[in-house]
Structure 1
Amino acid sequence: MTEKTTATGTIADLLARSNTFGADPRNTNYAGGNTSAKGTDTDPVTGEVTELLWVKGSGGDLGTLTEKGLAVLRLDRVRALESVYPGVEREDEMVAAFDYCLHGTGGAAPSIDTAMHALVDSAHVDHLHPDAGIALATAAEGERLTRECFGEAVVWVPWRRPGFQLGLDIAAIKRENPQAIGCVLGGHGITAWGESSQEAQENSLRIIAEATAFIERTGTDEPFGAHDTSREALAEAERRAKASALFPVIRGLASTDSSMVGHWTDTEAVHEFLAGRKLAQLAELGTSCPDHFLRTKVKPLVLDLPSDASVEDSVARLKELHETYRSDYTAYYERHADADSPAMRGADPAIVLVPGVGMFSFGADKQTARVAGEFYLNAINVMRGAEAISTYAPIEESEKFRIEYWALEEAKLQRKPKPKPLATRVALVTGGGSGIGKATAERLVAEGACVVIADLNLAGAETVAEELGGPDMAVALHADVSDEDAVVAAVADAVLAFGGLDLIVNNAGLSLSKPLLETTAKDWDLQHDVMARGSFLISRETSRVMIDQAMGGDIIYISSKNSVFAGPNNIAYSATKADQAHQVRLLAAELGSHQIRVNGINPDGVVRGSGIFAGGWGASRAKVYGVEEDKLGEFYAQRTLLRREVLPANVANAVFALTAGDLSHTTGLHIPVDAGVAAAFLR
């Protein structure tokens, strides 16, 4: 029966229900599952009342679903597809047929699960991937346990790949079991229904709650086997230190075929799994729910060493296991691929498990890497539940391959926008809370990079990071670049944020404008400690990371035209900038064999937005030149060949030009960004 409500009310109820489900990870995973509602609206062409289906579109997320994320279809046309359905072997063709059933313009593309929602004779239908539900769905005795848990209220549906036939199967179950509120889909998830949005929501949550209670009530205490003390979690400080030491190496291995961003998960649930004696056998079985292994790959790489293994031994073993993993994955692909299969997408692991340390997950951006970890945590929860009440028995490997290399999934990947120039690159910008550093961070994020904003002023750095999109795009760190221990700690924290480092911008600085006889040794030391020593320390510690990654990289020094121009009353600042300029040449020569390019940028007089100029330097320079402080930018512009003021964004543009790929064979270069100061021409 179809609930006769207005379209506006139907959509509002559907979105509210969807957002409620998506707000709680116990109900469904990120971008997993779909919800729908049937209702009526007036056809703008005929003026007739038309029966419609609103259903979450392909790729959407329930927690953030809006009306734009819904596909809207005419129910009479979707139901008519049953008469032309060509059978299971050709059911992928039905997804294209959904396009001929759309109502109106705009909206999301219909997903593979559309048939389930359209064909089930209920006004509201939910298909979710709750951990407790999938635990039942992947238990070896899942059918019996479903009956034991729910009686006749929930019906078991044997595994079938999502598609039109599964929709027909569930529709038949609904007709044949009028007492049922939903079903457990073997190897997959749950589906529930109701004649109102509230009833559907209550039925979905009832299935999840009863499955959860059943597992807790009847399950064993040690579903992962007895605890192995040799693989238990290290103390927090030791755990973080080992994670930061291993992460660049693991990221480099995971990026063998294509560059990846990383995420580290350090939760109790992960460590419980890693310390269980069933770790190896369960990890080898892989995940089951289709949404899981599309993001986590068919199985993880597991380091088979105890928690207290040294970093050196762990690195050596990880490299061995990586080669084995690649061979195994290639063999998996070759076992199941046929002439129509998409090309292998890469043989590197998306999930790496290290006892005592945690889980490392990888993706084409930070969000994807983080979500991959969340999905494997879902898989851990599923394995815990299934092993507690039975034996974990995921779908067959051949079925996993059919979904991982499904033509429909490949088409979805092909529709993704082309990656931005700096996609997958991780940048560290010192002095990133204001001025040139802030502008550089903004440009790098806009071009696809993840950015660590390091600044002595943590509050300023945090503000910039939040403006740039938060933790999936940018993170803030407190960093005194003149303090060796602080630099070591900041680089370790930067590695834990995104998995490693690829692009370093030495920008932190300050300036004191004084003539020689008024310059104290303290003045001299302060300038050199922050810029010369600070750049050296940052370059040294970040180079360790980039060398461990074996992915190459870029180091950019924001030097100054004063590194080659002898300006008045500026001995300490200019000498420090000359030191930085020569560091560029020295490091370019030393790090080239590691494919790390080192270049410099020589700005002049960046007044607007500058933390240095606002902190007193502007007033000092204005006094030297005999101009008003608020006219200093104009003064600098008039002494240039182009008569143009240099802005922070101009320097950021040069950083991008040096690192975006077109200058891939350039190292040891200094680029003037000074609007043309003839006295500073390089020679």
Structure 2
Amino acid sequence: MTSGPPPEVAALLARAHRLGADPTVTNYAGGNASAKGRATDPVTGSDTGLMWVKGSGGDLGTLTEDGLAVLRLDRLRALVDVYPGVEREDEMVAAFDHCLYGKGGAAPSIDTAMHGLVDAAHVDHLHPDAGIALACAADGEKLTAECFGDTVAWVPWRRPGFQLGLDIAAVKAAHPRAVGVVLGGHGITAWGETSEECERNAMHIVRGAAAFLAERGRPEPFGPETEGYGPLPEEERRERAAALAPYVRALASQGRPQIGHFTDSATVLDFLARAEHPRLAALGTSCPDHFLRTKVRPLVLDLPPAAPLDEAVARLRELHAEYREEYAAYYARHATADSPAMRGADPAIVLVPGVGMFSFGKDKQTARVAGEFYVNAINVMRGAEAVSSYAPIEEAEKFRIEYWELEEAKLRRMPAPKPLATRVALVTGAGSGIGRAIARRLVAEGACVVVADLNGDNATAVAEELGGPDRAVAVTVDVTDEEQIAAAFRAAVLAFGGVDLVVNNAGISISKPLLETTARDWDLQHDIMARGSFLVSREAARVMTAQGLGGDIVYIASKNAVFAGPNNIAYSATKADQAHQVRLLAAELGEHGIRVNGVNPDGVVRGSGIFAAGWGAQRAATYGIEEEELGAFYARRTLLKREVLPEHVANAVFALTGGDLTHTTGLHVPVDAGVAAAFLR
């Protein structure tokens, strides 16, 4: 039986979860919290002072005991005697490793000194919108005094690190009535002798700042609404966003492919409708947690939402070229001989008046969080402009943090991306069987997946099984309906920015002899598979050519596309149609970098939606066997004597799209365990 965490740690985790659950208190993975206590050193048997603090990269709202760094206080505070000064303070991060207690837990973050050097049992460092608004106001020190008197002190801007910890400790010692500080250009820090007192003091600052801004703030801090820049009606707005999304993603992915996120929240739309938004957006964000994820400033379209789509796209391309030039110049202005190489000059945030905000990152969560951070930044600008003027930290300081060697080292520690990272896949018929297996494999390899199926409940269940909206979303679509297909692709580009990989898997099968096959049987199978694949591929090609990032279209055809079997005229004919679509589209779309390939399975019985829906019984009757024997029957007639499962088809899809077959298009891969009569010639 294992005991729970020490009382100090349990209280710390509970406090962290409450603070991290409120986005107005701190943003995702932003801020940190700590607790100090004592334990018996198992080596010496002596009573030892310890500190538990959120480790590097953790998130307060989901913090666990494993996410805490555990340090010896005596050794941590002894670092003051060997501190080489602010010019070499980065060396102190490596020194934290020599202060770890036992295995030490998570890696200590840059803010460890802030917690360890402040003489208080509990410390919270947070990034509340209202607190940062004071921190980024032109006269923030004066406003902080007006708001809090001597209960909250001011610490001028200092890059996070050991010196900032010393600064806060000195300010606390000099202001005995203070329960915390506002950190210029950054956030807040609060403390207390108990966990409850620390949280109460932190919320005193958060709520006090918010109340001050509300009471003292002037109306319309972003200025009057600019005529013609108000939000489009919701349906029209979403249509416009979906039309723009592939083009915007193409711009954001010029340096490296990105996943996108879109929001048309009221906060964003109101900001973009106001006269001051161009000036404020150009000033960029300030809090280090903000601009590390949003870059120093966004790209802002300077056209009203009523502008024609082609005009908006052309202007976005012009602005993107200017953005890249300006970003390269920013890097050149501040880079030194030992600065990390420029990481890319494309924007992470693209703002479109009347429509909303597109944000980008290496995966959906990163893209979504970048957008959330820019919403935080808008709130900060509103608060600062309401009582003063928004005055973020200087550009040179932003560069020092964006290209900080410690941040670069953190990036180097990140695991290598999976083969399909940054790729967005749409799989039809993904609510069961082969489609579900394909969706599972693509997500496992790093892709974001749109689970498309006629059965919306099945699609939703699969999307939830795959990890929810940061990995998979569900759409209900009948592939015989052009508008439903277009709507599915609109949902895909709004969810993830675009589409890179489409799998035509939706299918149905009716097994009958020729004389029993009705025209309806024929039309139904051709409508779903031949016509449906054509419609899906056409919509995919529109998105992929707009993106200019290439792409993959994969048809799940069949062994029956090349093998003539009995009692199967409608199904086999439509599969042959699909097989030739592969060749036709490979020839046509190659110039756009779009590869089109196919997979020819045979006899996928277990887990197959088609077989479970009656096809299995029909084929078993054709062969004169019991339906439960069908899988074994198919296996016996193959060269390898192996049964084909949905996962084997999914493996072939990954082999075609996972990166090694970059020069292959127009190919059909048999997944039939070896059927000589179906060998491709």
> Which TM-score bucket, shorter chain as reference?
over 0.9
CA contact (8 A) 2:5 2:65 kept: no
Q: AA paired with 2:245?
A: F
What residue number does 2:289 align with?
291
User: Which residue in 2 is equivalent to 1:120?
Assistant: 118
1:263, distance to aligned residue in structure 2 (A):
0.1
Give 1:592-611 correspondences, 5 Å limit.
592-611=590-609
Q: Which residue matches 2:523?
A: 525
1:337 counterpart residue number = 335
Amino acid across the alignment from 1:185: L
Distance in 1 separating the partners of 2:575 and 2:105: 55
The separation in 1 between residues aligned to 2:113 and 2:234, in whole angstroms, is 49
Q: Distance in 2 between matches of 1:477 and 1:128?
A: 38
What is the rounded CA distance, in whole Å, between the counterparts of 1:678 and 1:353 in structure 2? 57
Name 1:130's counterpart in structure 2: 128
Q: Structure 1 vs Structure 2: percent identity of aligned residues?
A: 74
- Mapped partners of 1:67, 1:7: distance in 2: 8
Q: Output the CA distance in 1 between the equivalents of 2:104 and 2:313.
A: 51
Amino acid at match of 2:548: A
The answer to whether the aligner puts 1:74 opposite 2:72 as a matched pair is yes
Alpha-carbon deviation of 1:229?
Answer: 3.0
Partner of 1:350 in structure 2?
348
Q: Residues of 1 paired with 2:43 and 2:256: CA distance?
A: 49
Residue 407 (structure 2) pairs with residue 375 (structure 1): no
After superposition, the C-alpha distances for 1:477-523 in whole angstroms (9 at most, x for unaligned) are 00000111111111111111100000000000000000111111111
User: Offset of 1:302 from its aligned partner?
Assistant: 0.2
Q: Flag the 1:106–1:116 CA change in 2: closer, same or farther, 3 A.
A: closer
1:233 aligns to what?
A: 231
- What is the aligned partner in structure 1 of residue 536 from structure 2? 538
Which residue, 40, 43, 49 being the options, matches 2:47? 49
**CA distance in structure 2 between the partners assigned to 1:144 and 1:491 by the alignment:** 52
**Post-superposition shift, 1:106?**
4.9
Superposed counterparts of 1:222-621, under 5 Å: 222-621=220-619
Provide the C-alpha distance between the structure 2 equivalents of 1:276 and 1:43, rounded to a whole number of angstroms: 60
Structure 2 CA distance for aligned equivalents of residues 129 and 495 of structure 1: 31
Q: Secondary structure at the match of 2:150?
A: coil
Alignment RMSD (CA, Å): 0.7
Say if 2:71 and 2:104, in contact at 8 Å, map to a contact too: no
| Structure 1 SS opposite 2:228 | helix
Q: Which of 97, 100, 109 is 1:99 aligned to?
A: 97
Distance 2:488 2:63 in 1: 37
Contact 1:7 1:39 in 2 (8 A): no
Q: Find the residue that maps to 1:94 and give its secondary structure.
A: helix
SS of 1:601's equivalent in the other structure is strand
Once residues 535 and 449 of structure 1 are traced to their aligned partners in structure 2, the CA distance between those partners, rounded to angstroms, is: 21
- The C-alpha deviation readout for 1:131-162, integer Å capped at 9, x for no partner, is 00000000001010000000110001100001
Residues 274-326 of structure 1: CA deviation (Å, up to 9, x unaligned) = 01101111000000000000000000000000011111111000000000000
Separation (CA, whole Å) in 1 of partners of 2:306 and 2:268? 17
Q: Residue type of the partner of 2:540?
A: T
Q: Matched residues in 1 for 2:93 and 2:230: separation?
A: 47
8 Å CA contact 1:456–1:480 kept in 2: the answer is: yes
Which amino acid counterpart does residue 634 of structure 2 have in structure 1? Answer: Y
Letter of the structure 2 residue corresponding to residue 340 of structure 1 = D
Deviation at 1:248, TM superposition (A): 0.5
Using the alignment, how far apart are the partners of 2:528 and 2:225 within structure 1?
49
When structure 1 is superposed on structure 2, of 482-491 and 536-545 the one drifting more is 482-491
1:622: Cα distance to partner? 0.3
- Describe the SS at the equivalent of 2:479: coil
Distance in 1 between the 2:191 and 2:360 partners? 36
- Does 1:181 pair with 2:179? yes
* Counterpart Cα distance in 2 of 1:174 and 1:494: 51
| Residues 266 and 357, structure 1, Cα contact 8 Å, conserved in 2 | yes
Partners of 2:277 and 2:312 lie apart in 1 by: 18
Q: Equivalents in 2 of 1:424, 1:47: separation in Å? A: 52
Aligned positions, number: 678
Amino acid at match of 2:643: E
Query: Which residues of 2 match residues 647-658 of structure 1 at below 5 A?
Result: 647-658=645-656
Query: Aligned letter for 2:294?
Result: T
Q: Which runs of 5+ in 2 are unaligned?
A: none
Q: Output the CA distance in 2 between the equivalents of 1:379 and 1:229.
A: 24
Partner of 1:3: none
In 2, the alpha carbon distance for the partners of 1:495 and 1:512 equals 34
Distance 1:461 1:41 in 2: 52
1:378-418 Cα deviation digits (max 9, x unpaired): 00000000000100000000000000000000000000000
Equivalent residues of 2:246, 2:498 under 8 A apart: yes
Q: CA deviation at 1:7?
A: 6.5
2:425 partner SS: strand
Question: Within 2, Cα distance between the matches of 1:42 and 1:256?
Answer: 56
Secondary structure in 2 matching 1:263: strand
Residues in 2 aligned to 1:43 and 1:543: alpha-carbon distance in whole angstroms? 65
Amino acid across the alignment from 2:552: D
- Secondary structure in structure 2 of the residue aligned to 1:299: coil
In structure 2, the partner of 1:40 is 38
Contact 1:68/1:106 (8 A) holds in 2: no
- Could you tell me which amino acid in structure 1 is paired with residue 209 of structure 2? A
d(CA) in 2 for partners of 1:24, 1:157? 25
Which of 58, 64, 67 matches 1:60? 58
Q: 2: distance between equivalents of 1:46 and 1:534?
A: 73
Give secondary structure in 2 for the equivalent of 1:71: strand
Q: TM-score, normalised by structure 1?
A: 0.99
